[in-house]
Structure 1
Amino acid sequence: MMKKEMYITGTIMKNRLAGAKEKLPSDKTMKNTGRGTSSELSTEDGKMCLVKWYDNKPVLMMSVVHGTEPEDTCQHWDKKLKQYVTVSPPSIVREYNLKMGGVDLIDRMISYYRMSARTKKWTMQMLMHFTDLALANSWLL
């Protein structure tokens, strides 16, 4: 991806990390530290960054562009305190949320109004999915 100058940022599942999981703090440690804590791990050449951030649950993100700095502040609702609390998300989370808003909205709309025909043929499933996608996109535009 770097050779083709494709700068990517995204979430990653923790079972895909191999040995990097042991270098990051545990979920329990981050929960005890509090909301908004983050930990960063990068490759030796500094081209890829892995960030673990704890808000209500731990989130793992990988990027070739962003890291934890500069941290920002935002307001999140706390169910226990029943008020807004100030949380500091890392830069990677802020940039991911800015860019992925439309994709998440389309996925949500497709899940609400999905075509209900059942079939085991993958070609028909793909055709129905792309029809759903086109309809949801046309509704937003």
Structure 2
Amino acid sequence: MENKAVPRGTYDYVTSDDGILALRWKDNRIVTLLSTDMGAEPMSSVYWYCSDTKRKEQVSCPAVVKSYNANMGGIDKRDKSDMLVHIYCTPMKSKRWYKRMFAYSVDVSLTNAWVFYRWDCKSLSLLDGLSLKKIRIQVFREASSQRPVTSNP
């Protein structure tokens, strides 16, 4: 598929023997998707804004692309996770790669725990959940507190 020679809404796909669909679809740019769950059919039509004509145009869209757009949530989850991790990243400078990796894994773990916490708050209809910053502060305060270790005899 040439980028400019193909009209918008054109697609091409191939399916492997294992049932993996590889699809390329022309939107503003060429989009490549792999799927084991869905196929290209049934085709549907969507309305996208065309910057040349300054209005919405009807464009044909494969089922796998429509499903991806419906479940994506407007932003890639991986990009949102990276954004949340880097908002409050642990300030650690070290020449040892494993120390930076440890700090990053703690940041990712705390961010993922906060995302699950927000899902639980939403399902329980709690409007005033803690922010990511407050959760991180609480966790680090608890981790750094000096409590005596007690052992059961």
TM-score range, shorter chain: 0.5 to 0.7
Instruction: Label 1:114 to 1:136 Cα distance change in 2 as closer, same or farther (>3 A).
Output: farther
The code of the aligned residue for 2:21 comes to: C
Structure 2 gap ranges (5+): 123-153
Residue of structure 2 equivalent to 1:90: 62
Instruction: Label 1:82 to 1:108 Cα distance change in 2 as closer, same or farther (>3 A).
Output: farther
> What CA distance in whole angstroms lies between the structure 1 residues aligned with 2:87 and 2:113?
12
What is the Cα deviation at residue 57 of structure 1? 0.6
> What CA distance in whole angstroms lies between the structure 1 residues aligned with 2:14 and 2:65?
15
Instruction: Give the alignment partner of residue 87 of structure 2, picking from 78, 90, 114.
Output: 114
Larger radius of gyration: 2
Identical residues among aligned pairs (%): 23
CA deviations 1:116-135 (Å, max 9, x no partner) are 43335211101112222333
What is the Cα deviation at residue 80 of structure 1? 2.1
What is the Cα deviation at residue 115 of structure 1? 0.9
Instruction: Label 1:76 to 1:122 Cα distance change in 2 as closer, same or farther (>3 A).
Output: same
Instruction: Label 1:46 to 1:117 Cα distance change in 2 as closer, same or farther (>3 A).
Output: closer
Q: Does 1:32 align with 2:1?
A: no
> What CA distance in whole angstroms lies between the structure 2 residues aligned with 1:137 and 1:86?
38
Q: Is the 8 A contact 1:110 1:132 kept in 2?
A: no
Q: Is the 8 A contact 1:53 1:59 kept in 2?
A: yes
Instruction: Label 1:96 to 1:131 Cα distance change in 2 as closer, same or farther (>3 A).
Output: same
Residue of structure 2 equivalent to 1:134: 113
Q: Is the 8 A contact 1:41 1:50 kept in 2?
A: yes
What is the Cα deviation at residue 78 of structure 1? 1.4
What is the Cα deviation at residue 37 of structure 1? 0.7
> What CA distance in whole angstroms lies between the structure 2 residues aligned with 1:106 and 1:139?
17
Structure 1 gap ranges (5+): 1-25
Residue of structure 2 equivalent to 1:22: none
What is the Cα deviation at residue 97 of structure 1? 2.3
TM-score, normalized by length of structure 1?
0.65
Instruction: Label 1:138 to 1:77 Cα distance change in 2 as closer, same or farther (>3 A).
Output: farther
Instruction: Give the 5 Å matches for 1:1-141.
Output: 26-28=1-3, 31-43=4-16, 45=17, 47-101=19-73, 104=76, 107-108=79-80, 111=83, 114-119=87-92, 121-139=100-118, 141=122
